[in-house]
A = this chain, B = another copy of it.
């Protein structure tokens, strides 16, 4: 199905509405773009991209920090019918190279912050993304249609099997995600959504799609910073925000936390929110909306309404309009009695399957691997994220990826990586190791650092045990290890990196 270009149409309908506000810092003047100004910049960026040789179907890597040029580049790639590959700037050159090869990325955009690492990736077409500002404001319409079935972008999720998996999301996925959110939150003419999480995460990127589809304002920060967020809310009249629990915890510690009361809604996702955090929000009368989402669903799947937060403590709410949920047992039989089982999801915002794999959706349902249950009103309670996923400060970390690297070490016999609860980060990465030869904790730490693992994936706690508890079939008893580690932290021979 074809659609007029979203931004182009909004640039006509909402010509003088503020589309984008950028605050590089509280000390600097904010920059503003109306929809028509943004469209003009995007059209000039299209010329620039075409001059570089970028054409329909090309995969273009974005290794960029949050900046208006990121937004402009994404919208310009839409008009070039090229596919954006969203790269996590916290990964190592080796991890990035793997994703670039896997996604057949031919062009890579970097900026001042990411250029050092980008140079280590070795790609022919490495481009410093600095066009913004050098372009004049001349108007130049390029209003191609959007084919909703085409792939807009590829995001990588940490894979349960060690290697990350590419998630191709279509325009239809983004459209339906934005619509489902609009039909949940409503759309008000003064809506202004603050984007303070990385654009390379689907939760950040989705804010940009929602804003242009709704024809409302997006306020962009270069990164999360408590003071900057709280200042922006007041100075730019922000009404909506998306946060991970770690961010909200920090904001609540800030003396200006009452600024959060000005928000119409605080979307809280990316990781489970603690009971303590929810209660703090209730005391402050904040309109929080805990949500369950994932890259594969182009962000939100279920969301809890603010007025239900007190009544349905711990729930992630109901499926958004257009989404469906099922809870199944190991034989994929539906569980209807509130029993815990695997969460299956279905909806128009969801990917068809992973890139370069045969792992497609099964019977039209995505098997999330997450465990949860539904209460009698149909509200979802997520019991544990897929398998043994560790979520630290909103970043997903798969134990198997870290374990595979540790097992390559000749002196390591067995390993189990788990997440340990942490007040600020939600979880931190912990590795329990059985050694074959003499190995110091410092040796292990240094080995991990050499292994080109992104910093946030490095074990913060390493513990050496004589053996690991296993089931009769030889499977690691992760929960058992996690519990024992939690109890014995003070006693264990542990090093905090």
A378 touches B12 (CB 8 A): yes
Please, which residues of chain B bring their CB within 8 A of the CB of A10? 321
Cα A15 to Cα B311 in complex, Å, equals 15
B322 touches A12 (CB 8 A): no
A182, CB-defined interface residue at 8 Å: yes
A323, CB-defined interface residue at 8 Å: yes
Cα A71 to Cα B188 in complex, Å, equals 28
Cα A179 to Cα B3 in complex, Å, equals 13
**Minimum distance in angstroms from A260 CB to a CB of chain B:** 20
Q: Pick the contact of A182 from B2, B183, B377 — CB < 8 Å?
A: B183
A186 touches B183 (CB 8 A): no
**Minimum distance in angstroms from A376 CB to a CB of chain B:** 11
Please, which residues of chain B bring their CB within 8 A of the CB of A324? 4
A13 touches B186 (CB 8 A): no
Decide yes or no: A214 and B322 within 8 Å by CB, A1-B348, A348-B3, A377-B12 being known contacts: no
**Minimum distance in angstroms from A335 CB to a CB of chain B:** 17
* A214 to B, closest residue via Cβ: B183
Cα A9 to Cα B187 in complex, Å, equals 20
Please, which residues of chain B bring their CB within 8 A of the CB of A15? 377
**Minimum distance in angstroms from A9 CB to a CB of chain B:** 6
Please, which residues of chain B bring their CB within 8 A of the CB of A2? 346, 364
Cα A183 to Cα B4 in complex, Å, equals 14
Q: Is the interface of A mostly helix, strand, loop or mixed?
A: mixed
A394, CB-defined interface residue at 8 Å: no
A340, CB-defined interface residue at 8 Å: no
A444, CB-defined interface residue at 8 Å: no
**Minimum distance in angstroms from A280 CB to a CB of chain B:** 25
A153, CB-defined interface residue at 8 Å: no
- Copies in the assembly, this chain: 2
A194, CB-defined interface residue at 8 Å: no
A429, CB-defined interface residue at 8 Å: no
Cα A378 to Cα B15 in complex, Å, equals 11
Cα A184 to Cα B346 in complex, Å, equals 28
Q: Pick the contact of A188 from B1, B6, B186 — CB < 8 Å?
A: B186
B348 touches A13 (CB 8 A): no
| Residue-wise interface mask of A (319-339) relative to B, using a CB-CB cutoff of 8 A (1 in contact, 0 not) | 101111000000000000000
Cα A39 to Cα B349 in complex, Å, equals 25
A4, A189, A214, A346: residue with the most chain B Cβ atoms closer than 10 Å: A4
| Residue-wise interface mask of A (10-25) relative to B, using a CB-CB cutoff of 8 A (1 in contact, 0 not) | 1011010000000000
A215 touches B183 (CB 8 A): yes
- Contact sample, A vs B, 11 pairs, CB 8 Å cutoff: A1-B348, A4-B323, A4-B324, A6-B321, A179-B179, A182-B183, A182-B187, A183-B214, A183-B215, A188-B188, A213-B321
Known: A9-B321, A183-B214. 13 other contacts (CB 8 A): A3-B348, A4-B319, A4-B322, A4-B324, A6-B321, A9-B322, A12-B377, A13-B184, A183-B215, A186-B189, A187-B187, A213-B321, A215-B321
Query: When A and B form their complex, which 8 residue pairs have the shortest distance between CB atoms, in order from nearest?
Result: A186-B187, A12-B378, A187-B187, A4-B324, A13-B318, A186-B188, A3-B322, A186-B189
